[in-house]
Amino acid sequence: MSMPQVDYKESELYRIRHSAAHVMAQAVMEMFPGQARIAIGPPIDDGFYYDFELPRALTPEDLQAIEARMREIIAEDHAFERQALTGDEARRLFADQPYKLELIAGLEAGGQDEYGAEIAGKPEISIYRDGAFTDLCRGPHVERTGMINPSAIKLMGTSGAYWRGDEKNPMLQRIYGTAWKTAEELEQYVWRQEEARKRDHRKLGRELDLFSVSEEIGAGLILWHPKGGMLRKVAEDYCREEHERGGYQFVYSPHIGRAALWEISGHLGWYQENMYAPLDIEGQAYYLKPMNCPFHIQIYKSRTRSYRDLPLRFAEWGTVYRYERSGVLHGLMRVRGFTQDDAHLFCRPDQMPDEIDRVLAFSLNILRAFGFRDFQCYLSTMNPKKAAGTPEQWEAPTEALRMALERAEMPYRIDEGEATFYGPKIDIKVNDAIGREWQLSTIQFDFNLPERFNLSYVGEDGQEHRPYMVHRALMGSMERFMGVLIEHYAGAFPAWLAPLQAMVIPIADRHVEYARQTAARLKEAGLRVEVDERNERMNAKIRDAQMQKVPYMLVVGDKEAESGQVALRLRSGDNPGAMPLEAFLARAQEEVAARR
Ligand SMILES: [Zn+2]
Ligand SMILES: [Zn+2]
């Protein structure tokens, strides 16, 4: 079932994009003869960029002209030719290109590649020529410019970029481009980009009044508004019920703990850069918790555990704080405080395969309930240079994780040697509605903490044994998961998740009383309902409810009030029309229960 491991850097697409970056740089240099200074131009995930120092700011018209010239250069079908050079030869060639001279110096010193990025060793200095253009470059490239599909390239925009990412250096102009094999792939990509902009959870979070960040409180700290709070509560309530059914026990733990705890856990040793400075309480240092594990371990250790007590599954919606640079904070996706749907499993070695099966099935079921269908699983195995425990100790858990994936019939990829030092793990990534991949769940073995905290249970033989410990978070961070959900659904949540499920819309003032009765009946039956009593025209109210992505709009006028009906409209624009209130209720309840 293992998926083929295609390294992007060895793919044809990577060579196409790298080559397109050269073609673009040539077009820009021709636009500003003798004036353009070129910096670096690497391929990136979905395309490529190149940084330039130019005599003036680029306009959208410039980009069009550059793109047109790129197509001509492609049609000229120049061969890409590599040549190795000495440092002196390279300096002569790039005498009027100060950024390249700096990069050549880095190549000569070693430890840097031709983009100034850190690498091991000292690469040979080489250039690639295609026609009139020459770049300091290690490749790889396509053989000829003609191998770039001219109808599958597009320049996406510009931005400012400091030379070497350092704000003390000059600001350069970066042009972003993308290149694909076919025009259809390009079209798909452009569509995904536009769709992603429309779905941006920060924009939808404002429009739907879900959450905000307050400068007074601080960056990366999220405020959940009533609607976002309801969305999160519904998601959490559902998960809590599933956890109870799945044999988890809920625990609660504090937000801070003494330095001594984090010393034993090792966090002060290997995780301190992600932790905030300590608080002083009566002369003792306390740290905000970056993880919940040591707390759950203390609960485990609070009494002697027998083999009959295991497995134990401690779950907590635990809020943790981790340092992130302000520059990388991003809406709900990168924050400084977040709540994990965290759990720690403690079991006997003989229980472990079954435990892993259970936790994997449990994770996938919950992700499916939230509407995710496409999963990629990654199994990370031991890195022999950096591992707690022996290869023999790693074998059984790694095999248990692999067998669980096989039994669940999940396609998976093995990331050989990619595990963290404390144990093998499964990562589950999901594809959202527009095909983007998000890492959500982790099932992580731990050989380290049971050792450090000297965990034990009394076996059937009366002797002390070390339990297995597994960390597991399904949504990871509730903040990020909510962000992914907002983007996945573009804010149009299925009825079971929608913060407001139905809006009752009276046509005129005289229908308000009936609208209120209708809402009261639906609320009593467990639906989340409001009445739009504003003095607005019916069409405006419908439009507003649609903008708020309310799944059901119930219009009530004379006819409905007389006959005990509601006229149902859906946010999709469908218009099922008048029906008895109880018939609507049955339909809504069924859709909510089915989580459609
Ligand atoms: Zn190159
Ligand atoms: Zn943990």
Per-residue pLDDT tens digits for 393-427: 899 899 999 999 999 999 899 999 989 888 999 99
As a whole number, mean pLDDT of residues 141-151 equals 96
Q: How far is the CA of 115 from the centre of ligand 1 (A)?
A: 10
Which of residues 425 and 2 earns the better pLDDT score? 425
pLDDT at 145 (0 to 100): 96
Assess whether pLDDT exceeds 60 at residue 5.
Answer: no
β-pair partners for 319: 339
pTM of the model as a whole: 0.84
Q: How far is the CA of 510 from the centre of ligand 1 (A)?
A: 72
Residue type, 531: V
C-alpha separations of 185 from 19, 45, 190, 405 in Å:
18, 14, 9, 31
- Active-site residue numbers? 293, 322, 340, 342, 344, 425, 471
Strands (E) in 54-124, as ranges, are: 80-84
Residue type, 364: L
C-alpha separations of 149 from 33, 63, 180 in Å:
26, 18, 7
Q: What is the rounded end-to-end Cα distance, in angstroms, of the chain?
A: 30
Q: How far is the CA of 504 from the centre of ligand 2 (A)?
A: 45
pLDDT digits (tens, 9 = 90+) for 215-263: 999 999 999 999 999 999 999 999 999 999 999 999 999 999 999 999 9
pLDDT digits (tens, 9 = 90+) for 427-437: 999 999 998 99
| Pick from 493, 491, 535: nearest CA to 510 | 535
pLDDT at 596 (0 to 100): 80
Whole-number Å distance between alpha carbons of 256 and 35: 58
Q: Residues 6 or more apart from 148 whose CB is under 8 A from it?
A: 16, 19, 20, 23, 74, 142, 179
- Tokens, residue 184: 């259809």
Residues in the chain: 596
Flag the least confident range among 75-79, 179-183, 304-308, 416-420.
Answer: 416-420
pLDDT digits (tens, 9 = 90+) for 159-170: 999 999 888 999
Of the pLDDT bands very low, low, confident and very high (cuts 50, 70, 90), residue 6 is low
β-pair partners for 468: 347
Task: Output DSSP code: residue 509.
Answer: G
> For the chain, what is the mean pLDDT?
94
- Tokens, residue 291: 């993880």
Strands (E) in 349-498, as ranges, are: 374-380, 412-415, 425-431, 437-446, 457-458, 464-465, 468-477
pLDDT digits (tens, 9 = 90+) for 95-129: 999 999 999 999 998 888 888 888 888 889 999 99
Domains in the chain, start-ordered, CATH in brackets? Answer: 8-197 (3.30.980.10), 207-253+289-489 (3.30.930.10), 502-593 (3.40.50.800)
Q: How far is the CA of 211 from the centre of ligand 1 (A)?
A: 44
pLDDT at 1 (0 to 100): 36
- Tokens, residue 527: 């639906």
Assess whether pLDDT exceeds 80 at residue 2.
Answer: no
pLDDT at 9 (0 to 100): 86
Q: How far is the CA of 220 from the centre of ligand 2 (A)?
A: 22
Whole-number Å distance between alpha carbons of 101 and 94: 7
pLDDT at 342 (0 to 100): 97
pLDDT digits (tens, 9 = 90+) for 556-575: 999 999 999 999 999 988 99
Task: Output DSSP code: residue 388.
Answer: S
Assess whether pLDDT exceeds 80 at residue 488.
Answer: yes
pLDDT at 389 (0 to 100): 81
Whole-number Å distance between alpha carbons of 211 and 230: 11
Q: Which ligand is nearest to the CA of 315?
A: 2
- Could you list which residues have their CB under 5 Å from ion ligand 2? 293, 471
Q: How far is the CA of 470 from the centre of ligand 2 (A)?
A: 8
% of the chain at pLDDT higher than 70 = 99
pLDDT at 52 (0 to 100): 97
β-pair partners for 274: none
Assess whether pLDDT exceeds 60 at residue 47.
Answer: yes
Of the pLDDT bands very low, low, confident and very high (cuts 50, 70, 90), residue 4 is very low
Residue 43 and residue 141 in contact, taking contact as beta carbons nearer than 8 Å: no
Whole-number Å distance between alpha carbons of 332 and 412: 28
pLDDT at 3 (0 to 100): 42
Q: Which ligand is nearest to the CA of 471?
A: 2
Strands (E) in 79-131, as ranges, are: 80-84, 126-130
pLDDT digits (tens, 9 = 90+) for 526-566: 999 999 999 999 999 999 999 999 999 999 999 999 999 99
Q: Which ligand is nearest to the CA of 265?
A: 2
Q: How far is the CA of 41 from the centre of ligand 1 (A)?
A: 7
Residue 355 and residue 311 in contact, taking contact as beta carbons nearer than 8 Å: yes
H or E element at residue 567: strand 565-570
Q: How far is the CA of 52 from the centre of ligand 2 (A)?
A: 46
Q: How far is the CA of 343 from the centre of ligand 2 (A)?
A: 7
